[in-house]
Structure 1
Amino acid sequence: MSYFSNLLKSEYSKNVLTLMTGTTIAQAIPIAITPILTRIYSPNDFGVFALFLALTAIAGAVSNAQYEQAIVLPVKDEDSFNLVALGITIALSFSLFLLIIVLLFKDQISVLFGNSQIAPFLFLVPLSTLLAGIYNSLNLFNIRKKQFKNIAISQVTRSSSLGVSQVLIGLISFGPVGLVIGQIISYFSGNVMLFKTLKSNYKKNYISVEKIKHQATIYKKFPIYSLPSILLNSINLNVVNFLISSIFSITTLGFYSLTQRIIGIPSKVIGNSFSQVYLQKASESLKKTGSTKVVFKKTFLKLTYLSIPIFTILFFIVEPLFAFVFGEEWGVSGTYAKILIPLAAVRFVSSSLSNTLVVHQKQQYGLLINLFLLTSTMVIYLYSKSSGIIFIDTLKYFSIIMILEYSLFTLLYWQISNKKPI
């Protein structure tokens, strides 16, 4: 009992609990407010917003060229300040580049996505990308300074401002304006909270052009090796939105986006926690025994036992549940969800075990997996387009093929966990 009590009092445990609390609340707010949003905004509005989010997610993932990941590494705060400055400078430059692209090719981009309604919001993509880049850098600096309470507050602030602004703007405007502006406001509010730590730790003459260049040289491996993998992963996660909008319709994308938002909850709330614990336990096991086989098997069984009741219940209630909670109009999303639930169950288990690659330092497989997923996704949707297959059937084919692929990935993780390090 005393051991458990001491464990809870440790700095590490307190930091984890602080972040978990902030993350849980931050995720709960958008979920709780979704039934209100679905009665203010149309599926078409959600489709435009999903397209906007996909664009900003890809751009935001690479906006700092991965230099933000190095902020926690230097011994001296002065060096980390210059890395923050470097990351934000790159984000600003990249955002200006995106703005030029939008100014020159706005109409062509709209045609590419098969929807002219995204055109006015393309001008906000560079701004959202810049704010995301600033947030990435400030967040890592707060981690460096162990300001986990501040990070948790910023997460809740972002989530709260997102929900409130999307509802209020939606009540006084038409179309997806409130959804998009709310996203930008949420980033801005989060940055304000995180900036306090940066300001309180800054000292005169910390930052200079020469120092920034020096840090860029020291940590040049981050953009060279991490950036391609992160970019591919981000494209893989968001390419479906572009394909649905281009091949089918923006309204179909709106229904699909709500489906993904809801059936992804188990992975976000439970799967991510399992993944983090598995990473720690597997790393410890590898050091002590030279194998992660036992930990892998135990985690796999726990995830499987959890997924069966959760996703089985969801499978039978999801269609009427969507119509009741989000409004009759959104019953279509429930139909999509029922098709995707078997895939969500398999992915829930497989993705939680993907840290096997990290533990065994086999990250190159992660790059190949993302490339494989991206290629197969594009082939499925492009084949549907050429063959005139309707979206419901496309979703069924997609679900079946992805179930097979994620099952193979899980088998790969199992094979790796059985091997002893060289």
Structure 2
Amino acid sequence: MKMPGATARLLVSLRGRTMRSVATLLAGAAAGQLITLITVPLLTRIFSPAVFGEAGTLLAAASVVMPVAGFCLPLAIVLATDDDEARALGRASLSISVLLAAVMAFGIVFWSSLSDAPWGMSSGLLMFIPLLMCLATAVSVLEQWAHRRSCYTASAKVSVGKSLIGNGGKVLGGLMAPVSMTLVFMTAVAEAVAAMLYLGWLRGSVTPDRTTPLKWWALVVKYRQFPLFRAPQVLVSCLSLAVPVLLLGAWYEPAIVGFFVLARSVVAAPSMLLGKAIGDVIYPRLARAAQDGLPLLPLQLKAVTLLGVVGLLPLIPILLAAPLIFGLLFGEPWQMAGEHARWMALWFYFTLVGVPCISSMPVLQVQRLHLTYTCFTAVIRVGLMYWACAIAQLASSTSVALYCISGALLNAGLMVWILLLSAHRDRLMA
């Protein structure tokens, strides 16, 4: 156990490296998000709200399974004891995702044989879901390997390349075929481009894994908290994000889904920009601090305070004038998306501020409790929205408001809970 002086020295030594790493990831993510924000006004004038809604429904369904296709084992790559173990974890993650994607593809074919258009979509469109599962797992494995090797510049470059190809392809493709297939296809292309870019920039450090499937299984057992607790938690969390899109599509017209999807994609941009950069950097730092027996709370509070202040910059203008802003940027038909954006801004603010706390949960080894909390919050939020849409039949803006306000309050509660757990852990380690 190191003394407080060692803790201070570690924080000082990490400060420069951490800020440089955050700045690198932030620059790449900012450039990627800037490209997205520039192209969105073009896309809203090429694609109708109904087309946005149809593509958003499919991508919402895909987003449920994409993060868990590898059972969240890619997240363990940073924690692996050596590079051989990290490579084996990556190989196991990819193998699991391919197996699950094959099962998903078979299910889609079988479902399509019973119904001409499940969810109102062709089987060809639905087959993008297993493809996206495999691509997302590959990107996640390579991304975590890059973070393990502190190759944050590669991640920044990938963010720019992925956004440029994906959004540029949507604009050019939309000019030729302004249909939902174009939006979905270019989403898959962007994931494939991200994987290829990672392989290109990491080619010197990514070598083939020569371990046997038996070793993979041993690693799955060793890091069982990820498939047993983290994967279900992520699955439930993604369901709570996707179900509102599906509910809105079931009880309101497709254009309402388009408004919701646009509002969420625009409002989430600052949160994703800062949150991912901070989370990707602070997660390895917290893991190292825990391995060295150092307190976690100082690192968490520093990051939470920074995000709390910076997050106010996009929050205030969205709360005050979102409908006007959306009408000017995306065209008058999209003003309703601004009404949704007001409430989403509050929700994503607390999501952003809580990123350092969420990143510390694997380090604190409380993923089982995280799963329980996520299930609890998902039931509350989805239940509220189902009541608003199906039972009370409230206006779509009211249904969205209930969903977002409940998310903000629950995220704030989770953040406080994790900080208290860290404070308790630090007292025990003192």
Q: Do they superpose with TM above 0.5?
A: yes
Query: Distance in 1 between the 2:348 and 2:23 partners?
Result: 27
Match of 2:320 in 1: 316
Query: Distance in 1 between the 2:347 and 2:370 partners?
Result: 19
Q: Does 1:370 align with 2:371?
A: no
SS in 2 for 1:92: helix
Cα drift, residue 178 of structure 1: 1.6
Check whether the contact 1:360–1:421 (CA below 8 A) recurs between aligned residues: no
CA pair 314-110 structure 1, distance change in 2 beyond 3 A: farther
CA pair 109-316 structure 1, distance change in 2 beyond 3 A: farther
Q: How does 1:21-420 map onto structure 2 within 5 Å?
A: 21-72=27-78, 77=83, 79-106=85-112, 115-117=119-121, 119-196=123-200, 200=204, 207=210, 211-220=212-221, 221=224, 222-272=226-276, 292=297, 304-307=308-311, 310-351=314-355, 353-355=357-359, 357=361, 360-384=364-388, 385-413=390-418, 415-416=420-421, 418-419=423-424
Query: Distance in 2 between the 1:87 and 1:119 partners?
Result: 26
Q: Which amino acid aligns with 2:331?
A: G
Query: Distance in 2 between the 1:308 and 1:202 partners?
Result: 40
CA pair 234-107 structure 1, distance change in 2 beyond 3 A: farther
Check whether the contact 1:99–1:123 (CA below 8 A) recurs between aligned residues: yes
CA pair 281-187 structure 1, distance change in 2 beyond 3 A: closer
**TM-score, length of structure 2 as denominator length:** 0.81
Map Cα deviations across residues 230-250 of structure 1 (whole Å, 9 max, x no partner). 322322332222222223233
Cα drift, residue 256 of structure 1: 0.4
Query: Distance in 2 between the 1:12 and 1:324 partners?
Result: 38
Cα drift, residue 132 of structure 1: 1.6
Q: Which amino acid aligns with 1:331?
A: Q
Cα drift, residue 366 of structure 1: 2.2
CA pair 388-352 structure 1, distance change in 2 beyond 3 A: same
Query: Distance in 2 between the 1:217 and 1:291 partners?
Result: 29
Query: Distance in 1 between the 2:296 and 2:18 partners?
Result: 26
CA pair 137-275 structure 1, distance change in 2 beyond 3 A: closer
Cα drift, residue 299 of structure 1: 6.1
Q: Which amino acid aligns with 1:45?
A: V
SS in 2 for 1:207: coil
Query: Distance in 2 between the 1:391 and 1:28 partners?
Result: 29
C-alpha RMSD over aligned residues: 3.8
SS in 1 for 2:69: coil
Larger displacement relative to structure 2 (254-263 or 149-158):
149-158
Map Cα deviations across residues 321-369 of structure 1 (whole Å, 9 max, x no partner). 1001011111110122234434444444445554565665444442232
Cα drift, residue 147 of structure 1: 4.0
Cα drift, residue 275 of structure 1: 5.8
Unaligned 5+ runs, structure 1: none
Query: Distance in 2 between the 1:331 and 1:107 partners?
Result: 40
Query: Distance in 2 between the 1:356 and 1:76 partners?
Result: 21
Check whether the contact 2:259–2:337 (CA below 8 A) recurs between aligned residues: yes
Equivalenced residue count is 412
Check whether the contact 1:236–1:374 (CA below 8 A) recurs between aligned residues: yes
CA pair 408-63 structure 1, distance change in 2 beyond 3 A: closer
Query: Distance in 1 between the 2:349 and 2:207 partners?
Result: 50
Query: Distance in 1 between the 2:387 and 2:232 partners?
Result: 27
Query: Distance in 2 between the 1:246 and 1:299 partners?
Result: 40
Check whether the contact 2:68–2:234 (CA below 8 A) recurs between aligned residues: yes
Unaligned 5+ runs, structure 2: 1-8
Check whether the contact 2:46–2:175 (CA below 8 A) recurs between aligned residues: yes
Identical aligned residues as a percent:
18
Check whether the contact 1:343–1:399 (CA below 8 A) recurs between aligned residues: yes
CA pair 218-264 structure 1, distance change in 2 beyond 3 A: closer
Query: Distance in 1 between the 2:249 and 2:258 partners?
Result: 9
**TM-score, length of structure 1 as denominator length:** 0.82
SS in 2 for 1:388: coil
Query: Distance in 2 between the 1:110 and 1:376 partners?
Result: 34
Q: Which amino acid aligns with 2:383?
A: V
Larger displacement relative to structure 2 (70-79 or 334-343):
70-79
Query: Distance in 2 between the 1:393 and 1:9 partners?
Result: 44
Cα drift, residue 154 of structure 1: 2.5
Query: Distance in 1 between the 2:134 and 2:41 partners?
Result: 30
Cα drift, residue 33 of structure 1: 1.1
SS in 1 for 2:196: helix
CA pair 288-352 structure 1, distance change in 2 beyond 3 A: closer
Check whether the contact 1:8–1:14 (CA below 8 A) recurs between aligned residues: no
Larger displacement relative to structure 2 (94-103 or 386-395):
386-395
CA pair 217-225 structure 1, distance change in 2 beyond 3 A: farther
Check whether the contact 2:351–2:411 (CA below 8 A) recurs between aligned residues: yes
Query: Distance in 2 between the 1:291 and 1:88 partners?
Result: 32
Q: Which amino acid aligns with 1:58?
A: V
Q: Which amino acid aligns with 2:403?
A: F
Map Cα deviations across residues 209-264 of structure 1 (whole Å, 9 max, x no partner). xx132222233224234322232232233222222222323321110011111222
Cα drift, residue 198 of structure 1: 6.7
Cα drift, residue 298 of structure 1: 6.6
